[in-house]
Amino acid sequence: MGKKGKLRIGWFTFACSEDSTILMTEIMNDCWQEWKKKVEFAYARVLQTQNELNDLDVAFIEGAITTDKDAERAKEIRKNSKYVVAVGSCAVTGMPTAQRNLFDSELKKEIKPLLIKFKHREKVQPVKDIIKVDDDVPGCPMNEKIFLEILDKYLKLFKVK
Protein backbone atom coordinates (compact mmCIF):
# COMPACT_ATOMS: atom_id res chain seq x y z
CA MET A 1 0.00 0.00 0.00
CA GLY A 2 1.14 3.56 -0.73
CA LYS A 3 1.73 6.62 1.38
CA LYS A 4 -0.61 7.14 4.33
CA GLY A 5 -2.61 3.99 3.60
CA LYS A 6 -3.54 4.95 0.05
CA LEU A 7 -4.09 2.56 -2.85
CA ARG A 8 -0.93 2.81 -4.97
CA ILE A 9 -1.92 2.66 -8.62
CA GLY A 10 -0.42 3.04 -12.07
CA TRP A 11 -2.13 3.99 -15.32
CA PHE A 12 -0.44 2.76 -18.51
CA THR A 13 -1.29 2.96 -22.21
CA PHE A 14 -0.25 0.97 -25.25
CA ALA A 15 -1.70 1.03 -28.80
CA CYS A 16 -5.12 2.68 -28.62
CA SER A 17 -6.91 5.99 -28.92
CA GLU A 18 -6.41 6.67 -25.19
CA ASP A 19 -10.11 7.45 -24.86
CA SER A 20 -10.25 5.60 -21.53
CA THR A 21 -7.39 7.77 -20.25
CA ILE A 22 -9.37 10.84 -21.25
CA LEU A 23 -12.46 9.45 -19.53
CA MET A 24 -10.48 8.65 -16.37
CA THR A 25 -9.27 12.25 -16.20
CA GLU A 26 -12.83 13.46 -16.76
CA ILE A 27 -14.07 11.24 -13.92
CA MET A 28 -11.55 13.03 -11.72
CA ASN A 29 -13.64 16.20 -12.11
CA ASP A 30 -16.27 14.50 -9.94
CA CYS A 31 -14.10 12.19 -7.84
CA TRP A 32 -10.84 14.03 -7.17
CA GLN A 33 -11.72 15.26 -3.66
CA GLU A 34 -12.42 11.67 -2.58
CA TRP A 35 -9.61 10.05 -4.58
CA LYS A 36 -6.87 12.33 -3.27
CA LYS A 37 -7.52 10.91 0.21
CA LYS A 38 -7.53 7.29 -0.98
CA VAL A 39 -5.41 6.94 -4.12
CA GLU A 40 -1.74 7.54 -4.80
CA PHE A 41 -0.99 7.83 -8.52
CA ALA A 42 2.50 6.33 -8.51
CA TYR A 43 2.55 6.16 -12.31
CA ALA A 44 0.29 8.19 -14.58
CA ARG A 45 2.09 10.05 -17.37
CA VAL A 46 -1.12 11.89 -18.24
CA LEU A 47 -1.16 13.44 -14.74
CA GLN A 48 2.48 13.93 -13.74
CA THR A 49 6.07 13.94 -14.90
CA GLN A 50 7.56 12.03 -11.93
CA ASN A 51 6.47 8.40 -12.17
CA GLU A 52 7.48 5.24 -10.33
CA LEU A 53 6.96 1.70 -11.56
CA ASN A 54 7.46 -0.22 -8.36
CA ASP A 55 5.31 -1.78 -5.68
CA LEU A 56 1.98 -0.92 -7.29
CA ASP A 57 -1.19 -2.26 -5.73
CA VAL A 58 -3.13 -2.02 -9.00
CA ALA A 59 -1.98 -1.31 -12.55
CA PHE A 60 -4.61 -0.19 -15.06
CA ILE A 61 -3.50 -0.95 -18.62
CA GLU A 62 -5.19 0.57 -21.65
CA GLY A 63 -4.35 -0.48 -25.19
CA ALA A 64 -3.31 -3.54 -27.17
CA ILE A 65 0.14 -5.08 -27.47
CA THR A 66 1.64 -4.44 -30.91
CA THR A 67 5.41 -4.73 -30.41
CA ASP A 68 7.91 -6.87 -28.53
CA LYS A 69 8.79 -3.74 -26.55
CA ASP A 70 5.11 -3.43 -25.50
CA ALA A 71 5.10 -7.07 -24.39
CA GLU A 72 8.24 -6.61 -22.31
CA ARG A 73 6.82 -3.45 -20.75
CA ALA A 74 3.58 -5.27 -19.89
CA LYS A 75 5.63 -8.00 -18.19
CA GLU A 76 7.53 -5.35 -16.23
CA ILE A 77 4.23 -3.77 -15.13
CA ARG A 78 2.88 -7.19 -14.06
CA LYS A 79 6.06 -7.93 -12.09
CA ASN A 80 5.70 -4.65 -10.19
CA SER A 81 1.94 -4.85 -9.52
CA LYS A 82 -0.15 -6.93 -7.17
CA TYR A 83 -3.14 -6.72 -9.54
CA VAL A 84 -3.58 -5.77 -13.19
CA VAL A 85 -6.77 -4.44 -14.78
CA ALA A 86 -7.20 -4.34 -18.58
CA VAL A 87 -9.05 -1.14 -19.49
CA GLY A 88 -10.98 -0.55 -22.72
CA SER A 89 -11.64 -2.73 -25.73
CA CYS A 90 -8.10 -2.69 -27.10
CA ALA A 91 -6.64 -4.00 -23.83
CA VAL A 92 -9.48 -6.45 -23.18
CA THR A 93 -10.01 -7.93 -26.68
CA GLY A 94 -7.34 -6.34 -28.86
CA MET A 95 -10.04 -4.68 -30.98
CA PRO A 96 -10.33 -2.35 -32.77
CA THR A 97 -6.52 -2.06 -32.86
CA ALA A 98 -6.29 -5.73 -33.87
CA GLN A 99 -8.37 -5.22 -37.02
CA ARG A 100 -5.24 -5.73 -39.07
CA ASN A 101 -5.10 -9.33 -37.79
CA LEU A 102 -8.13 -9.93 -40.02
CA PHE A 103 -6.71 -8.37 -43.20
CA ASP A 104 -6.56 -10.57 -46.28
CA SER A 105 -3.15 -11.61 -47.62
CA GLU A 106 -3.02 -8.77 -50.16
CA LEU A 107 -3.61 -6.08 -47.54
CA LYS A 108 -1.16 -7.77 -45.13
CA LYS A 109 1.47 -7.63 -47.88
CA GLU A 110 0.71 -3.93 -48.39
CA ILE A 111 1.21 -3.01 -44.72
CA LYS A 112 4.26 -5.29 -44.20
CA PRO A 113 6.77 -2.42 -44.76
CA LEU A 114 5.07 -0.40 -42.02
CA LEU A 115 5.17 -3.32 -39.60
CA ILE A 116 8.88 -3.69 -40.25
CA LYS A 117 9.59 0.04 -40.05
CA PHE A 118 7.83 0.43 -36.69
CA LYS A 119 8.91 -2.99 -35.37
CA HIS A 120 5.33 -4.18 -35.01
CA ARG A 121 4.46 -7.81 -34.48
CA GLU A 122 2.54 -9.75 -37.12
CA LYS A 123 -0.44 -9.97 -34.74
CA VAL A 124 -1.92 -7.44 -32.32
CA GLN A 125 -2.76 -9.00 -28.96
CA PRO A 126 -4.92 -8.14 -25.96
CA VAL A 127 -3.05 -7.69 -22.68
CA LYS A 128 -4.29 -11.06 -21.30
CA ASP A 129 -2.37 -12.88 -24.05
CA ILE A 130 0.89 -11.52 -22.63
CA ILE A 131 0.36 -11.32 -18.86
CA LYS A 132 -2.10 -12.39 -16.19
CA VAL A 133 -4.99 -9.93 -15.96
CA ASP A 134 -7.11 -9.87 -12.80
CA ASP A 135 -10.05 -7.75 -14.01
CA ASP A 136 -11.41 -6.20 -17.22
CA VAL A 137 -13.14 -2.90 -17.85
CA PRO A 138 -14.78 -3.27 -21.29
CA GLY A 139 -15.82 -0.54 -23.68
CA CYS A 140 -14.41 1.99 -26.07
CA PRO A 141 -14.07 4.18 -24.13
CA MET A 142 -14.19 2.13 -20.96
CA ASN A 143 -17.46 1.61 -19.15
CA GLU A 144 -17.30 4.27 -16.41
CA LYS A 145 -19.61 2.38 -14.04
CA ILE A 146 -17.53 -0.82 -14.23
CA PHE A 147 -14.28 1.15 -13.81
CA LEU A 148 -15.59 2.79 -10.63
CA GLU A 149 -16.86 -0.58 -9.32
CA ILE A 150 -13.46 -2.18 -9.88
CA LEU A 151 -11.60 0.73 -8.31
CA ASP A 152 -13.95 0.46 -5.32
CA LYS A 153 -13.32 -3.30 -5.17
CA TYR A 154 -9.57 -2.70 -4.80
CA LEU A 155 -10.05 0.10 -2.28
CA LYS A 156 -12.03 -2.38 -0.15
CA LEU A 157 -9.58 -5.23 -0.78
CA PHE A 158 -6.69 -3.08 0.47
CA LYS A 159 -8.87 -1.70 3.28
CA VAL A 160 -8.45 1.92 2.18
CA LYS A 161 -10.93 4.14 4.00
Q: What is the CATH number of the domain that holds 79?
A: 3.40.50.700
Residue 14 lies in a domain: yes
In a domain, 78, yes or no: yes
Residue pair 64/127 in contact (Cβ under 8 Å)? The answer is yes
pLDDT of residue 45: 94
pLDDT over 80 (residue 148): yes
Return the pLDDT at 4.
77
Could you report the per-residue pLDDT of 98-140, keeping only the tens digit for each? Answer: 999 999 999 999 999 999 999 999 999 999 999 999 999 999 9
Tell me what pLDDT residue 129 has.
98
- Give the angle 58-62-68 at the CA atoms, nearest 5°: 100
Residue 1's pLDDT is 67
| pLDDT beyond 80 at 49 | yes
Banded model confidence at residue 12, pLDDT cuts 50, 70, 90? very high
Q: Is residue 65 part of a domain?
A: yes
CA–CA–CA angle 55, 10, 16 (5° rounding): 140
Residue 72 lies in a domain: yes
Within a domain: residue 161? no
Say whether pLDDT at 81 is over 80: yes
| pLDDT given at position 11 | 98
pLDDT at position 78 is: 98
Please provide the DSSP assignment of 76-89 as one string: HHHHTEEEEEEEHH
Number of structural domains found in the chain? 1
**58: containing domain:** 3-156
Residue 49 placed within a domain: yes
Considering the domain boundaries, does residue 81 fall inside one? Answer: yes
Query: What mean pLDDT, rounded, does the chain reach?
Result: 95
Residue 58, pLDDT > 70, answer yes
**Pick from 1, 142, 7, 12: nearest CA to 76:** 12
Res 2 pLDDT > 80: no
